[in-house]
Amino acid sequence: MIIRVLGSAAGGGVPQWNCNYRISRRAREGKGEVRPRLQSSIAAQGSEGRGWVLFNASPDIRQQINETQALQPHADAELRSSPIAAVVLTNADVDHLAGLLSLRERQAFNLYATDRVLAVLEANPIFRVLDPDYVRRITLPIEKDVALEGPAGPLGITIRLYPVPGKVALFMETGDAANDFEADGGDTVGVQIRGESDGIVHYVPGCARVDDRLRERVRGAHALLFDGTVFTDAEMAEAGVGTKTGRRMGHVPITGDGGSIDAFDNLSVERKIYIHINNTNPILEEASEERRRVTDAGWSVAEDGLELHV
């Protein structure tokens, strides 16, 4: 199986269109101090090459396809064709849904998500641009292995969704904590991805807290691609760009009390990789103390185009 990172940044990307904070500025300067990054998505293909699965559909999907030859129509394929056979959604955040609107054009693929996330699509009529004669919406159960299929059959990739502490999408928040924060209901899920070999990859771009269940689940995995939105909980306020903490946004910080570096220590995970990185996070600065801290702790920082061969 190949896993390819299409977008390693959180919503907004790096640089973000309206952001004048140091990190976006450095990304624009292009001196290599901060690499530009697109918004949140990975792709996977099984060893027999029967089609790609996108995990989340980023607002940057068009650019991601243009930059990734494997996702473009093959030269000898039909006039309208795509190697993208399926899309799996891990939550209903804008940075994970908006790319669906660019996949209209009457191209067949299967769209997988939990019933909660599919309900958000149902409630937003703009997603009817995905013609149901071409795009099948398939409800994914939680805690069950599912062999993914494209319109032409099995893809050689098996996934299992599992709930992680999280919240409803920002645009669905009501201000009522009982509605907005849902620990186990499928609003936000992690996904275990397996090809034909034994190697397991976990993809968890949003997670509000690392609990024992999650720790035990990832033990021994080949790779963990985990929520690296913020380095510290108060980072956005300290940068002067917002008032919310990481946790309030549904993202556990990398450091501090309950931070992900400590929480995932000593679990025999071969590769630990931060992904979904916000444009305030100093690990984006190649020469920063914070970058050194995560690499010293055995983590790497995802870049667009990173490939894992499992």
Q: Most distant CA pair in the chain: distance in Å?
A: 54
Q: Give CA angle at 219 (207, 196), nearest 5°.
A: 95
Query: What is the pattern of x (binds Mn ion, CB under 5 A) and - over residues 87-126?
Result: ------x-x-------------------------------
250 binds, among ligand MLT, Mn ion, none (CB under 5 to 8 A by kind): ligand MLT
Q: For residues 1 and 97, which CB has a smaller minimum distance to ligand MLT in the complex?
A: 97
Instruction: Tell the burial category of 307 from Cβ atoms under 10 Å away from its Cβ (0-12, 13-18, 19+).
Output: exposed
Percent of the chain that is helix, strand, coil (3-state, to 5): 25, 30, 45
Nearest to 19 by CA among 231, 279, 276, 234: 279
Distance, in Å, from the CA atom of 251 to the CA atom of 248, rounded to the nearest integer, reads 7
* Direct distance between the N- and C-terminal alpha carbons of the chain, in angstroms, rounded to an integer: 5
Closest distance between ligand MLT and the C-beta of residue 3, in Å? 20
Rounded Cα distance, 17 and 21, in Å: 11
Q: Contact letters (x/-) for ligand MLT, 141-180, by CB under 6 A? A: -----------------------------x----------
Q: Comparing C-alpha atoms, which of 262, 254, 227, 285 is closest to residue 90?
A: 227
The minimum distance between CB 21 and ligand MLT, in angstroms, equals 16
By a kind-dependent CB cut-off of 5 to 8 A, residue 94 interacts, out of ligand MLT, Mn ion, none, with ligand MLT
Question: Rule CB under 6 A: which of 223-252 touch ligand MLT?
Answer: 249-250
Interaction between residue 273 and ligand MLT (CB under 6 A):
no
Please identify which residue in 1, 5, 11, 221 interacts with Mn ion, judged by CB under 5 A: 11
Site for ligand MLT in 86-125 (CB under 6 A): 93-95
Summarize as ranges the residues that interact with Mn ion (CB under 5 A). Answer: 10-11, 93, 95
Summarize as ranges the residues that interact with ligand MLT (CB under 6 A). Answer: 10-11, 93-95, 170, 206, 249-250
